Chains A and B, each alone.
Chain A
Amino acid sequence: MKLKNHGLSNLLIKRPIIAITLIVLILQCGFIFGQSADDILSKVDLNLSSNNRVFESTMNIIGRRGSRFIKSKTYAEGYKKSFTEYLYPPGDKGTKMLKLEDHLWIYSPSTDRTIQISGHLLRQSLMGSDLSYEEMMEDRKLTEMYKVNIEKKEEIFGRRCYVLYLEAKVEDVAYFTQRMWVDVERFVPLKQELYSKSGKLLKWMKSEKIQKTGERWFPMKVIYKDVMKEGDGTEFEITDIKFNQYITPSIFSKASLKK
């Protein structure tokens, strides 16, 4: 009994080299896994989140009858305010969306009307994509929503990655757990799997075109796929992004929709 309880000290006496190697290894693991799991996620947040950003993006929705291409420009501040203007296709051009807190307003130039979308409607698919309005607008810091563990290191898409396991620490998150492959050097998630509370895989995301913009690495292209939905998912690509720009506060007002 005694021997078992003091296995390591016993080992230290009998086989010092092995024991020391073991200790070093354990310490190392602790450094990689325990100490930096939150750090990794914070670094991911640093790369992905920002106080404000202005970007132009395209969305490619791959459906049964060919794909659709949508172009838009977005101004965002924190995760509570965003303003998007659609630029292409001609049918959607001039359509604007304003999100403040839990509310979404959409302006249509052809009818010169602003309508408000709230509640359950935010859960509907955005323009037939694999994203809901809600998800489109969601930009909370991961560290605010999830506690994190490192599962292992793994190489995907030719890059070394930490595999993180995220579990919600607040109640109002869409996905209770996530598995995230974070580039070891750049701290950008290359792949994400989104799970239900009971552990079913619901969606996955893949990041491509990781680029350095200023101080941060940023995935310029993300592919979203609902695992149950037909089609090949939705490609979301950022063609131009600027962080920490000055955005006139008036842009986040309903008046700016009609401009």
Chain B
Amino acid sequence: MIRFLIKGLLKDRSRSLIPLIVTSFGVMITVVLHSWLTGIMSESLELNANITTGHMKVMTKAYSEVMDLSPLNLSIIGADSLVKGLKKSYAGTDWVKRIRFGGLVDVPDEKGETKAQGPVVGWSLDLLTKGTKEIERFNLKKSLISGSLPKKTDEGLLTDVFAKRYNIGIGDTFLLFSNTFEGSMSFTNFTVAGTIRFGSEAIDRGALIIDIKAAEKSFNMEDSAPEILGFLEHQYDDEKVNLISEDFNSLYRNNDDEFRPYMIRMRDQNDMGSIIDYSQAIGTLMVAIFVGAMSVVLWNAGLLGGLRRYSEFGIRLAMGEEKIAIYKSLIYEAILIGLIGSITGTISGLGISYYLQEKGIDISNLMPNSSILMPQIARANITIAALYIGFIPGLVSTVLGAVISGIGIFKRKTSMLFKELEV
């Protein structure tokens, strides 16, 4: 029976092809939309994660209480081995040390004395290790206005606005005057490797990016870090982060040291919790609305599929086939079409979503002021839900459409059939 139906579907393209295309296309759009919405909904979360919060963050307990002030003197000591341990314990995650600092950038004259100076906020990131993801997280390549990324520890990136204001160019040397871990004065010479633009006026005024190794040396912080940021392989996932943070913090449950390591989740920082909940809610709502609409279309398609075969059923009835048999075969066909369409649709949808997730769409050209504080590449995000979010409505709606349109079969009067079939 099934083989017969498949044969029919294959041979009679009008019976199969269009409904199949519609189902498949509809399912594909659903999958892509779901992944895309999930992706862009979390994009501002990812932005926060990349720059400030990480998906999770390890710090000392004491630091966590005054986190908004980022006090260097409450840093984790022995950070390097902790990073190694974290990477080993939680496969697929990435852990990086970060030091945020403030200071004065001092531009010298020929005599090595202050020519100009201005305050900066600074980030030190791992810029030089091979395969580092920090450059991408800060989107530094796209943000370069001139010059290049630092290739050595004594090179730094200054914001373009700052560089222009203080008349300092690529290759010029400047001094960073800041505080060490203990509060002593810190002086370090850097060379300008390039200038960047963040797109936020407050930061563009004066910001400096240097390699983490340079910062460790300048601030006397070798093997220590105020914050260790953790990143999942893909986008933020509440459940995974909860598991990791609970597991990690349980290791120190019986430790009363105020400088014990302590992990917080992204949602514990800067009101991020409510943003996470909100974006999940709005994402679910959008997808629900869309799946609803899609179901109507597919149901509609199923209906049309039944309607278009009006005359065929007439002939079959005229030839003496049972109404119920025709109805059954119609539904079987619908199941087949729904299955094949949903499978192909899901596969192709996943394919497109995967491309959108990995490559993304470069939207920096759409923006007049490209900035690293804006995601430059919009990305999709494939989740488990993508596997069924299109598949189920694809199958159910197609079959449902057939079930309803097929009812018409029972209304046909045999006496009228030949009249209808007159050519």
Question: Which A residues are within 8 Å of any B CB, using their own CB?
Answer: 61, 63-65, 68, 70, 89, 91-92, 95, 105-106, 108, 110-116, 121, 125, 127-129, 254
Per the bound structure, the CA–CA distance linking A91 and B180 in Å amounts to: 10
CB of B106 within 8 A of CB of A115, answer: yes
Which A residues lie within 8 Å of B324 (CB)? none
Q: Is B184 part of the contact surface with A, judged by Cβ < 8 Å?
A: yes
CB of B184 within 8 A of CB of A127, answer: yes
CB of A65 within 8 A of CB of B73, answer: yes
CB of A108 within 8 A of CB of B184, answer: no
Which of chain B's residues 164-197 have a Cβ closer than 8 Å to chain A? 175, 177, 179-180, 182-185, 187-189
Per the bound structure, the CA–CA distance linking A125 and B182 in Å amounts to: 13
Interface readout for B38-70 with A: 1 if CB under 8 Å, 0 if not?
000000000000000000000000100000000
Given contacts A64-B74, A115-B117, A116-B113, contact A127 B183 (CB under 8 A): yes
Question: Chain B's nearest CB lies how many Å from the CB of A147?
Answer: 37
CB of A115 within 8 A of CB of B73, answer: no
CB of B114 within 8 A of CB of A116, answer: yes
Per the bound structure, the CA–CA distance linking A110 and B73 in Å amounts to: 22
Per the bound structure, the CA–CA distance linking A254 and B112 in Å amounts to: 11
Per the bound structure, the CA–CA distance linking A161 and B379 in Å amounts to: 75
CB of B185 within 8 A of CB of A114, answer: no
Which of A61, A65, A68, A105 has the most B CB atoms < 10 Å from its CB? A65
Contacting residue for A115 out of B104, B183, B184, B259, CB 8 A: B104
Interface size on B, residues (CB 8 A): 23
CB of B185 within 8 A of CB of A106, answer: yes
Q: Could you pull out 25 A-B pairs where Cβ atoms are within 8 angstroms?
A: A61-B183, A63-B73, A63-B182, A64-B62, A68-B182, A68-B183, A91-B180, A91-B184, A106-B177, A108-B175, A108-B185, A110-B187, A110-B188, A111-B188, A111-B189, A112-B112, A113-B106, A113-B113, A114-B114, A115-B106, A115-B117, A127-B183, A128-B73, A128-B183, A128-B184
Which B residues lie within 8 Å of A127 (CB)? 183-185
Per the bound structure, the CA–CA distance linking A115 and B185 in Å amounts to: 12
Which B residues lie within 8 Å of A128 (CB)? 73, 179, 182-184
Contacting residue for B185 out of A95, A105, A254, CB 8 A: A95
Which of A63, A95, A106, A128 has the most B CB atoms < 10 Å from its CB? A128
Per the bound structure, the CA–CA distance linking A113 and B220 in Å amounts to: 19
Question: Chain A's nearest CB lies how many Å from the CB of B220?
Answer: 6
Question: Which B residues are within 8 Å of any A CB, using their own CB?
Answer: 62, 73-74, 104, 106, 108, 112-114, 117, 175, 177, 179-180, 182-185, 187-189, 220, 259
Given contacts A64-B73, A121-B104, contact A113 B180 (CB under 8 A): no
Per the bound structure, the CA–CA distance linking A212 and B94 in Å amounts to: 63
CB of B184 within 8 A of CB of A92, answer: yes
Per the bound structure, the CA–CA distance linking A91 and B74 in Å amounts to: 20
Given contacts A127-B184, A127-B185, A128-B184, contact A115 B177 (CB under 8 A): yes
Question: Chain B's nearest CB lies how many Å from the CB of A16?
Answer: 68
Per the bound structure, the CA–CA distance linking A92 and B187 in Å amounts to: 10
Which of A105, A115, A125 has the most B CB atoms < 10 Å from its CB? A115
Which B residues lie within 8 Å of A112 (CB)? 112
Per the bound structure, the CA–CA distance linking A70 and B180 in Å amounts to: 14
Closest to A106 in B: B185
Which A residues lie within 8 Å of B189 (CB)? 111, 113
Which A residues lie within 8 Å of B188 (CB)? 110-111
CB of A68 within 8 A of CB of B184, answer: yes
Which A residues lie within 8 Å of B183 (CB)? 61, 63, 68, 125, 127-129
Which A residues lie within 8 Å of B112 (CB)? 112-114
Question: Chain A's nearest CB lies how many Å from the CB of B297?
Answer: 64
Which A residues lie within 8 Å of B113 (CB)? 105, 113-116, 254
Which A residues lie within 8 Å of B104 (CB)? 115, 121
Closest to A258 in B: B112
Per the bound structure, the CA–CA distance linking A146 and B319 in Å amounts to: 120
CB of B185 within 8 A of CB of A92, answer: yes
